[in-house]
Copies of this chain bind each other. A is one copy, B any other.
Amino acid sequence: MPANGTTPRAASTRRHDPDRRRRIIETCLDVIAERGVAGTSHRTVAAAAGVPLGSMTYHFDGMDDLLHEAFASFTRTVIDRFERRMAAATDLAAARQAVLALITADVFASNRDLVLTHELYTLAARNPAYRDLTNAWMRSSRAALERHFDPTTTRILDALIEGLTIHRALDTEPQDPQVVQAAIDRITRPAVT
A-to-B contact residues, CB < 8 Å: 36-38, 111, 114-115, 118-119, 121-122, 124-126, 131, 134-135, 138, 152, 155-156, 158-164, 166-167, 169-172, 176, 178-179, 182-183, 186-187, 189, 191-192
Name the prevailing secondary structure of the A interface residues.
Answer: helix
**15 CB < 8 A contacts A-B:** A38-B38, A111-B125, A115-B126, A118-B118, A121-B122, A121-B166, A121-B170, A125-B169, A138-B171, A152-B176, A156-B183, A159-B163, A159-B183, A160-B163, A166-B166
Closest chain B CB from A45 CB (angstroms): 15
Closest chain B CB from A37 CB (angstroms): 6
Contact A138 B170 (CB under 8 A): yes
Most chain B CB neighbours (cut-off 10 Å) among A135, A162, A169, A176: A162
What residues of chain B lie closer than 8 Å to A138, measured between beta carbons?
167, 170-171
- How many angstroms between the C-alpha atoms of A103 and B36 in the bound complex? 29
Most chain B CB neighbours (cut-off 10 Å) among A122, A164, A192: A122
